[in-house]
Structure 1
Amino acid sequence: MKTVHRNAVKPLVSCGIVHTTDRPHLSIIIPAWNEEAALPLTLDSLLTVLEAENLRDRSEIVVVSDGSTDTTVAAATASLKGRAEYVVVDLARNVGSHAAIRCGLSHASGDHIVVLSADGQDPPDTIPPMLQKLESGSDIVWGLRAGRDNDPFSKRASAGAFYRMFRWLTGLEYPPSGLDFVGFTKQVNSAVSQYTERNLPLFLLIYNLGYSQAVVPYERAERVAGTSGWSFRKRTKLAVDMITAFSAAPIRLVSLLGVIVAFLGFSFGLLTMIRAIVTDIPVSGWSSMIVLTSVMSGTILLGIAAIGEYVWRSLDETRGRPIYLERDVLASERPKDP
């Protein structure tokens, strides 16, 4: 099978793998950042499942290298060339997994779409039952983890605390096992493409679109190779994005906190005046002033920080900069109907 550069050859012409229709039945999106070790193993496992289920000739695999600095692009191309219809997108810089997935969705042409992790933790053999539910009428099918036993206790505890806080702040549901393995129809993909925010928590958006949903339980595996790039900083940013994208609760909480602090301040001032007029008890000086100043300063800084998150996101949107830039797109040539 010949590989073509899509930015150099338009449109793609027929050659290579034979489909029953011009458009593939299934598109599998795999975002990858520095996954040269894990990605070939994941693709081998995926292709084995597709072959066993007679899906290989009706599927396309879209790998998005999220600004990788290793040989992820070469590893993806070498693993897929001659074995499946594929698109390998090389992004110019790292933009995050959710933006990389959105890039992959723009290249997906299948009737059904599945998002799969590159590290092998999402088992490819879960895809056939997910596809069955999509073909049975569900618009969205989630791979639901049976548990988080493979995660450290600290990660499980912090995730559980965040999900409870998130539901309290936004009123939205979010499964405690997380959302990151999903399949959906092209209609859902079309709906997702209408959302253009830069800092968009993609899976949370899909979960709350309103389309019919189903779940397929699965056991999340260990990473097949390499180390995770899902750092604490990235998890924190996603958490803030999730809250600010779907709720104004932080600003309202800051407003409420301001009212409470102001009430306490006025009450303390009134109490101080009464004590000075009615009693001979001397007014507290230095210590009280330091405590009040610290509380007020902390409250003001907290309010500025919360409002600043929303202001920064508004500024980020008004700039109109592209969410991602594609350095190159490598693709197998798509066949036409015989």
Structure 2
Amino acid sequence: MNRKALHPENIRLTVIVACYNEELMVEMFYRTVVRYVKKYDYRFIFIDDGSKDETLSILQKLSNEDPLVAYISLSRNFGQPNALKAGYDFATDADCVISMDADLQHPPDKIDLLVAKWQDGFDIVNTVRAVQMDGALNRRIFAKLFYRFVNIISTTQILADGPDYRLVDRKVVSALAEFKESTPYLKEIIPWMGFNCTAVPVNIESRSYGESKYSFLKLISLSLRGITSFSVSPLRLSSFVGVGLSFMSFLYGIYAIYVHLFTDQTVQGWTSIIASVLFISGIQMLMLGIIGEYLGKTFLASKRRPAYLVKEIRDVSFSRSVEHKPELRTTRPVAS
């Protein structure tokens, strides 16, 4: 397919949007973004990630109003990465897929630029923050440290300051459908694939209403998922630290025996001994925690549970030439 020769009305573009308690924003998001995608053969897929508010009711209303709005209602909250994975799994018939947040922080006026880059031949078009991310200082520091640490220990380099606002080609979407991980981490999975990619700078806007659904504890949990998803370097590091501490303890033991047998001095200092014991014990607990994290992931993977479960789906086609009534379904294969 010659992408460059495609006219906008012939490009089948799907916008996938993960929503969790976004009743204040989701309709505004749709009304805003639809103005930027009307030139394409577009379709929206909203994924309701187990919202407790009226998000699903609003999506049902939008789907009834616009035959090009589909939605997937998950049985509970599975988390944003799993919800986005559900969106990709149900968008394999698109020429290209754009993922966006429902809070309008991702500027829709960049959609044409993302599509243009795709037409230039790029299979993955990422976005990066053009300016320093907003938010609390501790979040900014934590994010910088996380990205730096992950890119040091992992062979897969993830994009620092890269939000989940990206365009991917249909071949990337088809490849994503082959991943059966119960805890997918898309920021590492997508660059790991190795398709031709580029990045464009964007200004991330402030939320108009509501607040971020990511607490600091959720960010830590997501970070642990990212660190342990594509690298065993923490396990190797724990081995090196264990060997180093054992060697230091061995040398200190030889020194203590020498002082006791060949000098009149005695090994003194309960404070230093207790401090050493506590330090080594703390390191041991840290190493056990790292091992436990990997064992936990192995335990969850062995259960072969799906990444998400669909409670209800309203699917739509791309065709705008034929009036298409949304189809309500309650069953469809889910990711495993």
Matched, 1:41 2:41: no
108-117 or 323-332, which deviates more: 323-332
Q: CA deviation at 1:123?
A: 1.2
Matched, 1:271 2:258: no
Q: CA deviation at 1:20?
A: 7.5
Q: Residues 81-160 of structure 1 correspond to what in structure 2 (within 5 A)?
A: 81-108=64-91, 109-160=93-144
Matched, 1:203 2:187: yes
**TM-score (norm. length: structure 1):** 0.87
Kindly indicate whether the alpha-carbon contact (under 8 Å) linking 1:170 and 1:246 is maintained by their aligned counterparts in 2.
yes
Change (3 A) 1:185 1:207: same
Q: CA deviation at 1:92?
A: 0.8
Counterpart of 2:13 in structure 1 is 26
Any idea what the Cα deviations from partners look like across 1:83-110, whole Å, max 9, x if unmatched? 3512111111111101001111121131
Counterpart of 1:244 in structure 2 is 228
Matched, 1:66 2:49: yes
Structure 2 CA distance, aligned partners of 1:300 and 1:166?
22
Structure 2 CA distance, aligned partners of 1:113 and 1:305?
38
Structure 2 CA distance, aligned partners of 1:282 and 1:137?
74
Change (3 A) 1:172 1:336: closer
The structure showing larger relative contact order (alpha-carbon pairs under 8 Å, at least 6 residues apart) is: 1
Change (3 A) 1:217 1:288: closer
Counterpart of 1:297 in structure 2 is 281
Q: CA deviation at 1:77?
A: 2.7
Kindly indicate whether the alpha-carbon contact (under 8 Å) linking 1:134 and 1:140 is maintained by their aligned counterparts in 2.
yes
Q: CA RMSD in A?
A: 2.0
Match of 1:259 among 237, 243, 259: 243
Counterpart of 1:16 in structure 2 is none
Structure 2 CA distance, aligned partners of 1:175 and 1:233?
22
Provide the aligned length of Structure 1 versus Structure 2.
314
Structure 2 CA distance, aligned partners of 1:258 and 1:143?
40
Kindly indicate whether the alpha-carbon contact (under 8 Å) linking 1:126 and 1:218 is maintained by their aligned counterparts in 2.
yes
Identical residues among aligned pairs (%): 27
Kindly indicate whether the alpha-carbon contact (under 8 Å) linking 1:41 and 1:224 is maintained by their aligned counterparts in 2.
no
Q: CA deviation at 1:80?
A: 4.3
**TM-score (norm. length: structure 2):** 0.88
Match of 2:306 among 318, 322, 327: 322
Q: Which amino acid aligns with 2:15?
A: I
Kindly indicate whether the alpha-carbon contact (under 8 Å) linking 2:62 and 2:69 is maintained by their aligned counterparts in 1.
no
Q: Which amino acid aligns with 2:42?
A: S
Structure 1 CA distance, aligned partners of 2:230 and 2:86?
22
5+ residue gaps in structure 1? 1-18
Report SS of the residue matched to 1:230: coil
